Amino acid sequence: MLISGIHHATFITCDLTKARKFYEGVLGLQVDGKRPALGYEGVWYEIGPMQQIHLMCLPDSESASAGMHSTAFGRERHVAFVVADMAQLVERLSAARIVHSWSKSGRAAVFCRDPDQNVLEFIAQ
């Protein structure tokens, strides 16, 4: 099996301060300081071994949900899966002619869309 777990779920917010009050104040999550500079505001929360919640601050969160950021897969709501064999996954995506791109974060991660245009991220184990 290629997928061995869920790495993170990403939620988009247009008000990072308000979102942080909820996730940190109400849910009690603590900020993971390992988030790289990605060119937009956001916060990562570690919620278990290799499991995270990512908040991304985009000025117009409704545009993101409508696919307005279609060339920037990682800047949309998405779920990230842990993958044991990244080369095999990329080979399968290519063979199926599924458009995919490597993460701009520097991590060994690939993004694509499913048939319903949902964004999926795959992170090397």
Q: Which two tokens stand for residue 42?
A: 């956001």
What is the pLDDT at residue 116?
A: 63
CATH code assigned at 40: 3.10.180.10
Q: Give me the half-sphere count of Cα atoms (radius 13 Å) on the Cβ side of residue 98.
A: 19
Q: What's the burial of 85, exposed, middle or buried (CB within 10 Å: 0-12/13-18/19+)? A: middle
Domain of residue 45 covers 3-124
3 state SS of 65: helix
Which of the 8 DSSP states describes residue 90?
A: H
CB-based contact 75:56 (threshold 8 Å): yes
pLDDT, average across residues 66-87: 72
Predicted confidence band of residue 69 (pLDDT cuts 50, 70, 90): very low
What domain count does the chain have?
1
Residues 6-42 pLDDT 10s: 999 988 888 899 999 988 987 788 999 989 888 889 9
pTM value is: 0.68
